A and B are shown apart, each in its own frame.
Chain A
Amino acid sequence: EAGVTQFPSHSVIEKGQTVTLRCDPISGHDNLYWYRRVMGKEIKFLLHFVKESKQDESGMPNNRFLAERTGGTYSTLKVQPAELEDSGVYFCASSRGLINEQFFGPGTRLTVL
């Protein structure tokens, strides 16, 4: 069974540009989560999808961040326009149910210059 995959693994962009991160969860996992770790800080929750619906988006920093999960399969996280403080590692995780183990992807390292 393939694990959670994320693309790209690294992205370097300039302030003001747009970047789109993609996450492919494990097949059959209805729950998809986005987390972020900025340098020196703990991993923080961004949002949670159940199938294509946003269950909890309380961790989204501001309206420059837009997450979608059309069709309840893969998800994208768009940052537009990117700011310096958006730099960090963005993790995606998926689980079959709410009480099941969350499987994490390898992360996307975003650097905003």
Chain B
Amino acid sequence: TQLLEQSPQFLSIQEGENLTVYCNSSSVFSSLQWYRQEPGEGPVLLVTVVTGGEVKKLKRLTFQFGDARKDSSLHITAAQPGDTGLYLCAGSHAGGTSYGKLTFGQGTILTVHP
């Protein structure tokens, strides 16, 4: 069962364009993380959002957690070739034996052309 639907799966854009990646679920998460993964490496955490409606900014990247804590988005402004990579969202639930376990979306492969 796919609990986190991430879209789009592939995104190919020109340098300078803006883009948004979405992560949606029917489940409520206590927190949601966004990761970036480079070839041959493991995912690296970009940000964690924990409060419904929360917005976090990391340079040109803006992350938002939905009010109901079921969805999230990653917006990149003026994309650069260095932003190319695999972006993953992952949610976690607080409490119980599953605390700490991450549920991942399928990922978005972003290619930014010069």
Chain A residues in contact with chain B, CB under 8 A? 4, 31, 33, 35, 41-45, 48, 55-56, 58-59, 91, 93, 95, 98-99, 101-107
Contacts and interface: CB of A to CB of B under 8 A. Distances in A.
B31 to A, nearest CB: 8
Given A33-B101, A56-B97, A102 B107 contact: no
Contact of A33 (B40, B100, B105): B100
Given A101-B48, A107-B42, A42 B106 contact: yes
Contact of A45 (B2, B102, B106): B102
Interface of B: 2, 4, 40-45, 48, 88, 90, 97-107
A106 B106 contact: no
Contacts of A106: 40-42
Interface centre among A31, A44, A45, A91 (most CB of B within 10 A): A45
Given A33-B101, A58-B98, A101-B48, A42 B4 contact: yes
26 contacts: A31-B100, A41-B106, A42-B2, A42-B4, A42-B104, A42-B107, A43-B43, A44-B104, A45-B101, A45-B103, A55-B97, A55-B100, A56-B97, A56-B100, A91-B43, A95-B100, A98-B99, A101-B45, A101-B48, A102-B45, A103-B45, A104-B42, A104-B44, A106-B40, A107-B41, A107-B42
B43 A104 contact: yes
Given A42-B104, A102-B102, A107-B42, 10 more contacts: A33-B101, A43-B90, A43-B102, A56-B98, A58-B101, A91-B42, A101-B45, A102-B100, A104-B44, A106-B42
A93 B40 CA distance: 15
Contacts of B88: 43
Interface centre among B42, B43, B99 (most CB of A within 10 A): B42
A97 B41 CA distance: 23
Contacts of A42: 2, 4, 104-107
A98 B100 CA distance: 5
